[in-house]
Each structure stands twice: as structure tokens, then as C-alpha cells.
Chains A and B, each alone.
Chain A
Amino acid sequence: MPSPGMTEQRSKLRAGFRAGLPFAVAALLVGISFGVLAEPVMGTAAPIVMSVLVFAGSAQFAATAVLGAGGGALAAIVAGILLNARYVAMGIALAPSLRGRALRRAAHGQAMIDASWAMASLGGGRFDPSFMIGATLPSYPAWVAGTALGVFGGELIGDPETLGLDAMFPAFFVALLAGGELRSGRRAVATACIGATIALILVPIAPPGVPVIAASVAALLGLRRASTEEGG
């Protein structure tokens, strides 16, 4: 007999799963484009193994681009790590909402992908970990299957960019910011503006990945006393 807490967790997992389905479609199509791009650089097996073990789109694209341009393993790894480094900040944001031992928390962290992490945010620094895991579940097999499709038959499918999929993710983040994060007070609005400005300044001068990590500095606004602002 499951406890009421477990039943609630399961229903959140299911709700997350449903919310994650549209992103699984996107993951499938972007996975195809990764497979198409990676096959000439890495062969047939390595891109699929990479999608199984790494499961981080932007880092995989970046590492593949470096290898394809003739860079060595070290340069490719550095590029991938820089693009993944935002997960350190995202994981710190997620951490206060996680319960249990370190190993269990580490396992929860593996479910972090941008869209699921963002969807699981409840505002005010709280997250729903079960919802996040549910939202990631459909994207993982879709990402791996998409990669395999791209590797073995990509040319038949065409370029997913013509579908405008790359605009989906920033549009989704805009909707989440407007619908949740920015409603938690003026301080959140100010933080978002500073974060966007930091990213805008750094995109042309810093390596990919650095602008987003650097934008987390904007959160230091949280050190100001709450009494100096309303609603913050």
C-alpha cells in the first residue's frame, strides 16, 4: 500500500511527464540534427553512445563542432564542460528542494535538463523534483532515438531548423519568466534584467557557455535586505 506522500509524488511525476511530452518531440528532432552533424565527425557509434551517456544537447553540439573543426579532445572537452557548467548553478538552485542522502540527491541532479528544470521551478527558490524527473523521462529516449535516426538516415529527414525548433526553447523560457519567476517580486525582475544584460555583453567576447554561468552573479541581488524592497 503506497503512502499518501508516494501517491502525491507519483501524480507529480505523471504531471511532469505530460508537460514534458512536447519537449520530447523537440528532443527527437534536435537529436536527429545532432546525429546528422556528428556522424561525419565521430562515426556511427560514438554519437549514439554520447547521447546515452552525456544527454546534454548544447555540450554535445559544441564538442562535436570543435572536433569537426580539427580541435583536439582537450579543446572539445573544455567546450562541453563550459556549456554544461550552468548545471552547477541550476543544481544549486534545485538543492534546497531535495531531500534524502547525498547519493539520492546526486541521482535527482542527473534529471536536470533546461526545460524540465525550468518547468519544475515553483518561484521563490522552490522546485518540484518529482515533476522535473517526470518532465525529463520522455526526452531521454527521444534524444537517443533522434541521434540514432540522424546518424543512420539523417539526409532523408531534412534540416529540423526549417521547422523553427531552435526558437522554441527561448520562447518557452520567456513564457516561464513571465508566468512565474517574475511574479515573485521586483527583485526577481531586476535580477532577470541584470542577468540578461550580463549575457548580452559576454556573448561576443566570452566562449559559449560562459555568459549564462556569469549571469548567475545577478542573483547576488538577493543579499540585499528584504525590508528595502516590497514583495522581494
Chain B
Amino acid sequence: MSAVWITVAVLAVTTAIIRASGPVLVGGRELHPRLFGVIALFAPALLSALVVTETLGRPDGALVVDERAAGVAAAGAAVALRAPIIPVIAIAAAVTAGARALA
């Protein structure tokens, strides 16, 4: 089997296991309130980290402020002005696309 097909096969299996792991190991039983207190904060922790990596991160590991940052900043302003979610996303894409067209 070539490296490509080994990669596809192993990632197919590991991704399914990774996605199943939390629900299988933690789900289906009562949790201690303090443990639940920690788990309840996973969402804000992970979401804010995703905002950082997807706005400023590049695949090669560099931190860059580029057109994406302009788009996400515009979206942040729209959020502050209480714009609904779909227009917020549209503004982010439009500002990023506009900045790229000008660059």
C-alpha cells in the first residue's frame, strides 16, 4: 500500500475513534459537579482558541495579521452592533475578499 492510502486508511480509523472517545468515555453517567464545571468551560476555551488560530495562524506555524484579520475585526464590530449571525459571517467574507482584491 502506498503512503497516500496508508494515510487515508489510518486517518479514517483514528478520526472515528477520536470523535467517539469523549461521548463513550464521559457520556451516559452523572458527573461530579466540579468536573462538570470544568467541562462546561471547554466550549468558550476551544472557541476562542479557534478564533485565534483561524484568524492569525498559518499552516506553516507563522502568526500573521492579514486580510482575514480585517474580515474578523469587521465581524466583531458587527457583533458589537448586535447584527444577526448570517450578516456577521457575510461581512467577514466580504471584507476579507475586498481586502484581497485590493492587495
A residues near B (Cβ < 8 Å) are 22, 41-43, 46, 49-50, 53-56, 59-63, 65, 67, 72-73, 76-77, 80-81, 84-96, 98-102, 105-106, 108-110, 112, 114, 118, 121, 123-125, 161-179, 181-182, 184, 187-189, 191-196, 198-200, 203-208, 211-212, 214-223, 226
Contacts and interface: CB of A to CB of B under 8 A. Distances in A.
6 contacts: A87-B18, A125-B39, A164-B94, A167-B68, A182-B44, A196-B48
Interface in B86-103: 86, 88-89, 91-98, 100-101
Contacts of A172: 85, 88-89, 92
Nearest to A52: B12
Contacts of A184: 40
Contacts of B36: 96, 125
B25 to A, nearest CB: 7
Contacts of A77: 6-7, 10-11, 14
Given A87-B22, A161-B100, A220-B38, 8 more contacts: A53-B12, A92-B26, A94-B27, A95-B22, A110-B16, A164-B68, A166-B54, A169-B54
Nearest to A194: B45
A177 B47 contact: yes
B19 A215 contact: no
B7 A170 contact: no
**By DSSP majority rule, is chain B's interface helix, strand, loop, or mixed?**
helix
Q: Which of B20, B34, B38, B46 has the most CB of A within 10 A?
A: B46
B18 to A, nearest CB: 5
A222 B12 contact: no
Contact of A81 (B4, B11, B56): B11
Nearest to A211: B53
B38 A222 contact: yes
B86 to A, nearest CB: 6
Interface in B50-103: 50-57, 59, 61-63, 67-68, 71-72, 75-76, 79-80, 85-86, 88-89, 91-98, 100-101
A208 B92 contact: no
A108 B19 CA distance: 9
The 6 closest A-B pairs by CB, nearest first: A91-B22, A125-B40, A164-B96, A171-B92, A215-B49, A167-B71
A85 to B, nearest CB: 7
Given A164-B95, A170-B68, A207-B61, A93 B39 contact: yes
A223 B12 CA distance: 35
A168 B96 CA distance: 9
Nearest to A122: B43
B19 A168 contact: no
